[in-house]
Amino acid sequence: MIVNTEGIVLKQRKIANNRRIIVTFSKTYGKINAGTSINEKSKGKSALALRPFTYAEYQIFKGRDYYNIDSATVKKSYYAIGEDFDRFIVASQILEYIDKITEEGQPRPMLFDLTIEFLESITRVSGNYETLLYAFIVKTLRMQGIMPELKCCIDCGKPLSEFGKGKGKKIKMFSVTSGGVICENCHKAETSTGSALIYSPSFDIIEVLQYFILKPMETFEKLKLRPEVSEQIKNILAEYIKHYLDIDVFKDEKG
């Protein structure tokens, strides 16, 4: 059966007989591994559509348990991503992250649309790529069903309004292992048991995470985080993703 679907190439690998396997995140069928005999060195439209960071329309032969790309037409090529090394690294991290959080044959239309928004945004900006990276990852936490609890203490249920009561400020600590913000009493209880994945960031983590969730990707094109805040967000997200999804999303940055 011949089908058509929009998609984004995540990666590819060569196989025998001058064929390749193209791992494509499609809007209709989710992630698929599709074979193709299209010559990657040709200058035809189909060849251009098989490169990473390309948004294309694919004509695919869908068999019982396999896919084959017969032809493709570029809808938009985000070639500018490859013109800046830092931009390329961040965009590559996102494609690898998508590959790891998606399963074959499971459509993820919201994630697909978010990916297009990310590619549009990162192509327009010069620098400040990490903010877009963090925003994308936080938005996917809700899609994955692992969004941290931000409205009350995840351990005891104490409302946020009672955090740090009588001390002139709200104490907002974040526990990776519990999965959200914790109050001072629960912080003491967790640390007494030897839990190391508790953060006391210098910024309001609740407001930051909620802002990442609520605002569209384009909002973060001009939002520059202070270096120390960026580093803390990266550390928290890295531990959170590692703990709940077993994914090292920042491994390339760590070398």
**Residue 74 Rama label (left phi>0; alpha psi -120 to 50; beta):** beta
pLDDT for position 195:
63
- Say if 242 falls within a structural domain: yes
CA distance 181 to 57: 43
- Say if 245 falls within a structural domain: yes
Residue 219's domain spans which residues? 128-255
Give the C-alpha distances (Å, rounded to integers) separating 223 from 108, 131, 203, 215, 217: 28, 7, 15, 12, 11
Output the six-digit token pair for 205. 């983590």
- Say if 142 falls within a structural domain: yes
Encode pLDDT of 92-146 as tens digits.
999 999 999 999 999 999 999 999 999 999 999 988 899 999 999 999 999 999 9
SS3 151: coil
- Say if 231 falls within a structural domain: yes
* Under 8 Å between Cβ of 248 and 238: yes
- Say if 85 falls within a structural domain: no
CA distance 73 to 93: 25
- Say if 46 falls within a structural domain: no
Encode pLDDT of 194-236 as tens digits.
666 888 888 888 899 999 999 999 999 999 899 999 999 999 9
190 or 49, which is more confident? 49
CA distance 77 to 149: 38
Question: How many domains are contained in the chain?
Answer: 1
Residue 176 one-letter amino acid: V
Q: For the chain, list the strands marked E by DSSP.
A: 2-14, 20-26, 30-36, 54-62, 67-77, 173-175, 180-182, 198-199
Identify the CA nearest to 73 among candidates 50, 57, 51: 57
CA distance 50 to 39: 10
DSSP 36-70: E---TTS-SHHHHTTSTTEEEEEEEEE-SS-EEEE
| Least confident stretch, 59-73, 152-166, 177-191 | 152-166
| Least confident stretch, 4-18, 31-45, 157-171 | 157-171
